């Protein structure tokens, strides 16, 4: 079974994800990312290989990041330890510091007992599949480790947060003076830097989920639990609420009346803003096939091309990088602004949304009204042969529903990549219609693809 998943290596800390594995993974990474012409040029110039290491505040991150740093240093890599830091901050710091690569220890929105290891190449970009496969191959090989003065050093990256803060503040089209923001930091990696960034930009800030103790990350707070944020916005009479996940690569929001705003709506707001300012490359937005039909309609009405990819921010990134697009993301709140980041950045996204409120003098509800969210019903059909999702009878049923819905709806069938499950998603102008068609299609899938 492959070690790398869709977003690095994840598992139960001290269960499947051990200190030994973290150390070995770091050593294999040092070998693979220390190869190539850039490595030869570096050695010819007498420059040592460097890496930035960061983590989120979950308790297991302490021993796992120490193991990663030890594995890198034992392989001759000089390590800059950034400590607790959002994943997108680490990606930025790799490029800003001119490091050769970086490693983030985080399990994002997962509960505290889990952890993960994400690896970024030079420039702060995620690794392609083939590089991850090479790292896996080197895990079991004997490694020739340096001795004496050739081993790496581990140093504290003392100005890491300041560099990231200056970068964030420099990205804003308008200050946030006079806007009251409730920030939910998910008791995660954003608990230090996000409040400081919003306050430095001029906002009045009220905090929830900003007291990480190593075990409470994502525990009933953050972008996967918006109810507390909505309640806090109403309680404090705030203008807007911003929610991060554990490693702050996501951002969702709530309006002044507590209504959730998802990633599709956020992308719609930012796409129109960038287009108005002449900053939306090729008038194109990149999203995944799971994005709401309302986003397609809203972009079409404004002359913006919406390109779709498979599910996963890495596929959005690949499309953006291949064609030079400036904005992309997912409904879940991964939003990528390529002028300022190489990956989804929840702190950056939150600042940009509130800055747009200030620039236009509008509430978040007014900004979000450019997009109508179509009801979306998802039915998971379990115990079926996911490899036969192309069955002709199933596809005929899909085409029939698509014909009935016309431009007022959408159908999507997705086979799970990990289990015998097919996801049936239907969007329509009203929830009753969407549910009726989704359940009818699910029944066809269950009958035709039964194991």
State the binding site for Mg(2+).
108, 245, 247, 249
Q: What residues have CB less than 8 Å from 436, skipping those under 6 apart?
A: none
Q: What residues have CB less than 8 Å from 327, skipping those under 6 apart?
A: 267, 270, 271, 274, 280, 281, 285, 286, 320, 335, 336, 337, 338
In angstroms, the Cα distances linking 48 to 41, 77, 141, 325 are 11, 7, 23, 34
Give catalytic status of residue 223 as yes or no: no
In angstroms, the Cα distances linking 289 to 2, 164, 179, 315, 426 are 25, 32, 34, 11, 12
Phi, psi (5° rounding) for residue 231?
-65, -40
Q: What residues have CB less than 8 Å from 106, skipping those under 6 apart?
A: 55, 56, 58, 61, 87, 115, 116, 118, 189, 246, 247
Sign of CA dihedral 86, 90, 95, 96: positive
Q: Which of 65, 74, 106, 108 is catalytic?
A: 108
Which residues are annotated binding-site positions? 108, 245, 247, 249
Active site residues: 108
């Amino acid at each position: 079974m492959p070690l790398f998943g869709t977003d690095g290596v994840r598992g139960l800390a001290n269960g499947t994800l051990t200190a030994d594995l973290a150390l070995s993974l770091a050593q294999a990474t040092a070998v693979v990312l220390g190869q190539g012409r850039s490595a030869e040029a570096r050695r010819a110039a007498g420059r040592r290989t460097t890496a930035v290491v960061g983590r989120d505040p979950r308790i297991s991150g302490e021993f796992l990041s120490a193991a990663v740093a030890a594995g890198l240093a034992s392989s001759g890599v000089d390590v800059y330890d950034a400590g607790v830091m959002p994943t997108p901050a680490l990606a930025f710091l790799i490029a800003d510091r001119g490091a050769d690569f970086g490693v983030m220890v985080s399990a994002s929105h997962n509960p505290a007992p889990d952890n993960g290891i994400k690896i970024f190449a030079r420039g702060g970009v995620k690794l392609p599949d083939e590089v991850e496969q090479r790292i896996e191959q080197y895990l079991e090989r004997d490694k020739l480790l340096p001795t004496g003065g050739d081993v790496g050093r581990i140093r504290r990256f003392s100005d890491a947060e300041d560099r990231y803060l200056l970068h964030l503040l420099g990205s804003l089209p308008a200050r946030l003076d006079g806007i009251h923001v409730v920030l939910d930091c998910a008791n995660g990696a954003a608990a230090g830097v996000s409040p400081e960034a919003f306050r430095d930009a001029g906002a009045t800030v009220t905090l929830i989920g900003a007291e990480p103790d190593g075990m409470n990350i994502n525990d009933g707070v953050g972008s996967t639990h918006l109810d507390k944020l909505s309640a806090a916005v109403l309680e404090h009479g705030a203008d807007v609420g911003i929610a991060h996940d554990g490693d702050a690569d996501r951002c969702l929001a709530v309006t002044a009346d507590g209504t959730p705003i998802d990633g599709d709506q956020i992308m719609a707001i930012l796409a129109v803003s960038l287009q108005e300012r002449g900053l939306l490359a090729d008038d194109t937005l990149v999203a995944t096939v799971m994005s709401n039909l309302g986003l397609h309609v809203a972009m079409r009405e404004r002359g913006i091309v919406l390109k779709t990819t498979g599910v996963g921010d890495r596929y959005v990134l690949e499309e953006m990088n291949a064609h030079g697009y400036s904005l992309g993301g997912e409904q879940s709140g991964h939003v990528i602004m390529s002028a300022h980041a190489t990956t989804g950045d929840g702190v950056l996204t939150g600042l940009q949304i509130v800055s747009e409120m200030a620039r236009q003098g509008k509430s978040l509800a007014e900004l979000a009204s450019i997009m109508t969210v179509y009801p979306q019903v998802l039915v998971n059909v379990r115990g079926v042969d996911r490899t036969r999702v192309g069955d002709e009878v199933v596809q005929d049923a899909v085409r029939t529903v698509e014909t009935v819905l016309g431009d007022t709806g959408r159908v999507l069938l997705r086979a799970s990549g990990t289990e015998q499950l097919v996801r049936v998603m239907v969007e329509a102008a009203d929830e009753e219609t969407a549910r009726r068609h989704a359940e009818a299609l699910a029944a066809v899938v269950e009958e035709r693809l039964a194991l």
